[in-house]
Structure 1
Amino acid sequence: MKNESRQSIILGDVEITRVIEWAGPLGPARNLVPGAGAEVWKENEDWLSPDHWEADSDRAVVALQTWVLRSAGKTVLVDTGVGNGRERPGSPHFHHRQGDFLGELARAGVRPEDVDIVVNTHVHGDHVGWNTVAADGGWVPTFPNAQYLVPAADDHHFGPGNAYGRGLREDDRLIYEDSIAPVHHAGQAVLWDGAHRIDEHLTLESAPGHTPGSAVLRLTSGTDRAVFVGDLLHSPVQILEPACNSCFCLDAGQAAASRRRILERAADEGELLVPAHFGGTGAVEVRRQGQNFALGEWAGYVEVG
């Protein structure tokens, strides 16, 4: 896949810059999307490989990335990746990770103090990690002037009132304690439910299933449309097979229903689909194909930095 860490596109009056924390082959494709059989990957190898699938090893190729939106005079970050120095015993790829994400942000022209709004599409470790940085033996918000928009349902589900996701994974407690709780303590967390308008171009909407509060961010500016869908899709094969969930979806039925609803709207309204983890250019148009969907054009970027 393309390894450029900063890429930019303009939609209406909104500039979108893609900042990649890490990209490459992750785990077995069938583990990531268990319902998508080997034939789906093989039949689409000509375009899945190499940006989305490493055929020889049968590993899915993904990206950990943040989308920087400059909209209505504000700088908005959509998801904040894994972060550095985290205790993630249940996630070997994220455990004690060290990277230069803040350097990549700086090279894209974004200093921590410049960020006005942080959107966490959901509370998973690879979406909230750079919410905070280590300081004085603890954790403090990375972006001191930002509001952090956190889905209320996820804040409850993964928070102490629900025993940190009912205690099913130790990582859930660690994620909340090092990446969400410090934002609350600093008075920078804004919980929302249902829908939340950020400005005249950007609106958050609930799309539950992957997590109880998982959300999408809709962009409308002039005639241009986009939808940032977080983890509703982990791989483009889920556009072809929308009933297939990732292995991380907590409510399979709800996740599949949210995915189909978002894909239908993207196809009908000409929204550029921007998932959290797609490799390649990371964003694609969607077309209806009978009762199903097909991929349209991939996003075209201007390299920056």
Structure 2
Amino acid sequence: MTAVFQVGDARITHIPELHWDNADPRRLYPDIDAEALATFGPSLTPGSFDNATGRLAQGTHAWLVQLPGINLLIDTATGNDKSLPDAPALDHLHTPFLDRLAAAGVRPEQIDAVLHTHIHADHVGWNTRLYDGKWVPTFPKARHIYSAIEARYGAANDGIDPAPDLPPDVLGSPDHRPLPRVYTDSMLPVIEAGLGQAIRIDGREVLAGFSFHPTPGHSIDHASIRLRSQGAEAWFTGDVMHHPLQVYRPDLRSVYCEFIQPAERSRRWFLEKAAESGNLCFTSHFAETGAGYVRRRGKEFSWEFAQPTEGEIR
């Protein structure tokens, strides 16, 4: 059984796709220095940082949220068979992700909604699956909710529909471009099937209990999603941070961030918000339980992994 958490009436289950424990911190964070690991390495748990090898543990996963009468997924990881030659670790995967979803008690046709923090390869991949040589929706009854700006930017990136007004001036020029064909293979088939709902990311409630809050930078219109249920609250962070190390060092830029300075501003905003509220945070790439709390430590922050209500991380 995989890890399960409870937030109000919401039962939240970790659905794993990939796990690795050999990530080179210098490749993920180009500006990192030896002092950062020497200073903050001892604060990281063994399941996230190997002090002997200096390597980081991470993963890809989705979160299944079950509320009375509705099943949702927050992001959909990478998917199988996706051509991602520029990301070899994600290229043409064959994982039992859907079997793991079924083990949590839910079949693809029982998913009612898919909420996307952003449109990157490792967050929208299972939106579609390969069938008779074509990409078809994996969750045929689900409403897929995503940023309208992210979708337009993705379409432009794939050469489908130019968007000369993007990125907006407030973000500046991009430091990194998203991978090609992500929109074409993982978003367009869903939209053409009438299952897409493009929204404005402005903090308003989009679905009962769920609101999308702007945290741009990692991607052009990245959102962190807040869940409210029976007086309890939680956050789905998306890629505001990729590893607990960034909680301790929010200035560290990820090599995957499209707009470096806005990404850092969003990360600092989110850390302040999470520490002040004490809300449980469900991350997208942290190893171990994948969920935890941002704690204030003087003028800095620290990370505390949450233990599941039931089950365990596998």
TM, length-normalised to structure 1: 0.91
SS at structure 2 position matched to 1:62: strand
1:63 aligns with 2:59: yes
1:239 to 240, 247, 272: 247
Q: Summarize the Cα distance change of 1:49–1:39 in structure 2 as closer, same or farther, 3 Å threshold.
A: farther
Q: Distance in 2 between matches of 1:86 and 1:121?
A: 20
Q: What corresponds to 1:229 in structure 2?
A: 237
Q: What corresponds to 1:147 in structure 2?
A: 143
1:127, distance to aligned residue in structure 2 (A): 0.6
Task: State how 1:85-100 maps to structure 2 within 5 Å.
Answer: 85-100=81-96
Q: Summarize the Cα distance change of 1:169–1:44 in structure 2 as closer, same or farther, 3 Å threshold.
A: closer
Q: Summarize the Cα distance change of 1:216–1:170 in structure 2 as closer, same or farther, 3 Å threshold.
A: closer
1:138 aligns with 2:134: yes
1:165, distance to aligned residue in structure 2 (A): 11
Q: What corresponds to 1:114 in structure 2?
A: 110
CA contact (8 A) 1:225 1:270 kept: no
Aligned Cα root-mean-square deviation (Å): 2.4
Q: What corresponds to 1:180 in structure 2?
A: 187
1:244, distance to aligned residue in structure 2 (A): 1.6
Q: Summarize the Cα distance change of 1:171–1:137 in structure 2 as closer, same or farther, 3 Å threshold.
A: farther
SS at structure 2 position matched to 1:204: strand
1:297, distance to aligned residue in structure 2 (A): 5.3
Q: Distance in 2 between matches of 1:248 and 1:178?
A: 20
Q: Deviations over 1:253-299 (max 9, x none)?
A: 11111111111111111211221000111111112223321224534
What runs of 5+ residues in structure 1 fail to find an aligned partner?
Answer: none
SS at structure 1 position matched to 2:80: coil
Q: What corresponds to 1:23 in structure 2?
A: 19
| Equivalent position amino acid for 2:3 in 1 | Q
SS at structure 2 position matched to 1:6: coil
1:248 to 248, 256, 262: 256
SS at structure 2 position matched to 1:93: helix
Q: Distance in 1 between matches of 2:157 and 2:27?
A: 31
Q: What corresponds to 1:14 in structure 2?
A: 10
Q: Distance in 1 between matches of 2:265 and 2:22?
A: 26
Q: Distance in 2 between matches of 1:179 and 1:162?
A: 12
| Equivalent position amino acid for 2:269 in 1 | R
Of residues 40-49 and 260-269 in structure 1, the stretch that sits farther from structure 2 once superposed is 40-49
How many residues are paired up? 300
Of residues 244-253 and 104-113 in structure 1, the stretch that sits farther from structure 2 once superposed is 244-253
SS at structure 1 position matched to 2:126: helix
1:202 aligns with 2:210: yes
SS at structure 1 position matched to 2:191: helix
Of residues 294-303 and 156-165 in structure 1, the stretch that sits farther from structure 2 once superposed is 156-165
1:222, distance to aligned residue in structure 2 (A): 3.1
CA contact (8 A) 2:176 2:256 kept: no
CA contact (8 A) 2:158 2:183 kept: no
SS at structure 2 position matched to 1:253: helix
Q: Deviations over 1:117-146 (max 9, x none)?
A: 111211111111100011122101100000
Deviation >4 Å, runs of 4+:
168-171
Q: Summarize the Cα distance change of 1:214–1:165 in structure 2 as closer, same or farther, 3 Å threshold.
A: farther
CA contact (8 A) 1:88 1:96 kept: yes
Q: What corresponds to 1:126 in structure 2?
A: 122
CA contact (8 A) 2:157 2:178 kept: no
CA contact (8 A) 1:36 1:237 kept: no
